[in-house]
């Protein structure tokens, strides 16, 4: 196995490896990484039989592995090497290593996280509150659209300023990601309309037998009237025939997680890992900037 930079990766072989793996992880296709990662390389075995994507950034010349925004986790696709074999190579290649995966590893710097997932082949178990708000939202309609800029616009007007972990450059990556998903027939935008006015939207990723809710936004007055409940419920109804799981993408934020659980979603555990060996001069500069 060896590390290959993005410019030298055979995208056809790469995406074939992701698509034909038993692992469901849409975050690791080449087009997804191209949109979300500042840069990326990969640990690859012979003829791409096993691959591991490695998104990274360079700060002051220091190469650091990181988990990009809008990308929950990475995985090893294939069986020709394991995490135990990969980690020493990662630590040699990167001065700081941070990534998330569902595999439990024997590392000290470990943070357990959860996201919510719904089995679409089981009867939908809506909470009483969800049923009430879906009924309350009867005046809204849900329609497919390709105007992804509308979702970005509503998000900037509503939630963007409240979330300090998302920057303007992240929004540019989100737009690029949705464009890539549409171009690869791997995504759909659903808009919420009241009359002729678009008051909210959500983007959904499609891969294998899983739907993943990427991002949604809605004006507050319409959110209070159940518009987001109707959006998610409509998406579940649309996708349940052709897909097996509805992945809500997150969240560790309790009120957001509770919103997803009202649709009958269950928690799934994954892990955040960090390994740091940063130069002393780099750590000193970081302290000065704080």
Q: Is the model's pLDDT at 287 over the cut of 60? A: no
Same domain, 197 and 229: yes
Q: Is the model's pLDDT at 55 over the cut of 70? A: yes
Same domain, 134 and 190: yes
- For residue 153, the tally of other CB atoms under 10 A from its CB is 14
CATH of the domain at 177: 3.40.630.30
- Kindly state the average pLDDT of the residues 157-166: 85
Domain boundary (205, 225, 243) is at 243
199-247, pLDDT tens digit by residue?
A: 999 999 999 999 999 999 999 999 999 999 999 999 999 999 999 999 9
Q: Does residue 265 belong to any structural domain of this protein?
A: no
Q: Is the model's pLDDT at 183 over the cut of 90? A: yes
Same domain, 204 and 168: yes
Q: What is the distance between the alpha carbons of residues 199 and 141, in angstroms, rounded to a whole number?
A: 10
At residue 282, the pLDDT reads 38
Q: Write down the residue that tokens 């009241």 correspond to.
A: 194
Q: Is the model's pLDDT at 281 over the cut of 80? A: no
What is the band of 109 on the pLDDT scale with cuts at 50, 70, 90? confident
Q: Does residue 174 belong to any structural domain of this protein?
A: yes
Same domain, 192 and 238: yes
Q: Does residue 260 belong to any structural domain of this protein?
A: no
Q: In the structure encoding, which two tokens stand for residue 101, read together?
A: 């995966």
Q: In the structure encoding, which two tokens stand for residue 66, read together?
A: 């990181």
Q: What is the distance between the alpha carbons of residues 214 and 205, in angstroms, rounded to a whole number?
A: 7
Q: What is the distance between the alpha carbons of residues 182 and 185, in angstroms, rounded to a whole number?
A: 5
Q: Is 64 helix (H, G, I), strand (E, B) or coil?
A: strand
Q: Does residue 251 belong to any structural domain of this protein?
A: no
Same domain, 133 and 38: no
Q: Does residue 107 belong to any structural domain of this protein?
A: yes
* More reliable by pLDDT, 110 or 252: 110
Domain that holds residue 88: 2-113+270-289
**Domain count within the chain:** 2
Same domain, 93 and 132: no
Q: Does residue 30 belong to any structural domain of this protein?
A: yes
- Kindly state the average pLDDT of the residues 51-60: 93
CATH of the domain at 90: 3.40.630
Q: State the number of CA atoms in the 13 A half-sphere of 223 facing the CB.
A: 13
Which residues are CB-contacts of 160 (< 8 A; sequence separation ≥ 6)? 166, 171
In contact, 251 and 257? CB cutoff 8 Å: yes
Same domain, 37 and 70: yes
Q: Is the model's pLDDT at 85 over the cut of 90? A: yes
Same domain, 219 and 132: yes
The DSSP symbol for 79 reads: S
Q: For residue 185, which phi and psi values (nearest 5 degrees)?
A: 50, 40
Q: Are strands 62-65 and 197-207 parallel, antiparallel or unpaired?
A: unpaired
DSSP string, 27-44: GGSHHHHHHH-SEEEEEE
Same domain, 34 and 89: yes
Q: Is the model's pLDDT at 108 over the cut of 90? A: no
Q: Does residue 283 belong to any structural domain of this protein?
A: yes
Backbone Cα Rg of the chain = 20
Same domain, 169 and 206: yes
Provide the strand spans (E) within 105-183: 110-119, 141-145
What is the band of 61 on the pLDDT scale with cuts at 50, 70, 90? confident
**Range name among 130-139, 199-208, 270-279 with the lowest pLDDT average:** 270-279
Q: How far is CA 27 from CA 125, 130, 177, in A?
A: 28, 29, 10
Q: What is the distance between the alpha carbons of residues 279 and 252, in angstroms, rounded to a whole number?
A: 32
Q: Does residue 250 belong to any structural domain of this protein?
A: no
CA dihedral 237, 239, 244, 246 (to 10 degrees): -80
Q: Is 153 helix (H, G, I), strand (E, B) or coil?
A: helix
């Amino acid at each position: 196995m060896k590390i290959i930079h993005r410019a030298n990766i055979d995208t056809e072989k790469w995406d074939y490896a992701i698509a034909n793996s038993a692992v469901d992880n849409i975050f690791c296709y080449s087009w997804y990484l191209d949109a979300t990662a500042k840069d990326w390389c990969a640990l690859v075995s012979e003829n791409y039989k096993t691959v591991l994507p490695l998104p990274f950034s360079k700060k002051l010349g220091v190469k650091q592995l990181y988990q990009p925004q809008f990308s929950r986790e990475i995985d090893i696709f294939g069986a020709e090497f394991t995490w135990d074999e990969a980690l020493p190579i990662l630590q040699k290649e990167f001065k700081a290593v941070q990534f998330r995966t569902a595999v439990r590893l024997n590392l000290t710097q470990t943070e357990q996280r959860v996201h919510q997932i719904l089995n679409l082949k089981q009867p939908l178990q809506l909470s009483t509150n969800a049923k009430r708000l879906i009924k309350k939202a009867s005046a809204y309609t849900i329609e497919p659209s390709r105007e992804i800029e509308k979702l970005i616009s509503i998000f900037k007007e509503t939630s963007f300023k409240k979330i300090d972990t998302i920057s303007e450059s992240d929004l540019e990556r989100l737009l690029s990601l949705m464009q890539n998903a549409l171009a690869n027939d791997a995504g759909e935008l659903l808009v919420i309309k009241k009359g002729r006015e678009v008051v909210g939207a959500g983007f959904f990723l499609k891969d294998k037998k899983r739907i993943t809710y990427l991002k949604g936004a809605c004006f507050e007055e319409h959110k209070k009237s159940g518009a987001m409940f109707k959006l998610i419920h409509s998406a579940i109804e649309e996708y349940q025939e052709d897909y097996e799981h509805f992945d809500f993408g997150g969240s560790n934020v309790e009120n957001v997680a509770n919103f997803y659980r009202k649709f009958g979603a269950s928690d799934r555990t994954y892990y955040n890992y960090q390994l740091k060996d940063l130069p002393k001069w780099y750590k000193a500069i970081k302290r000065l900037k704080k």
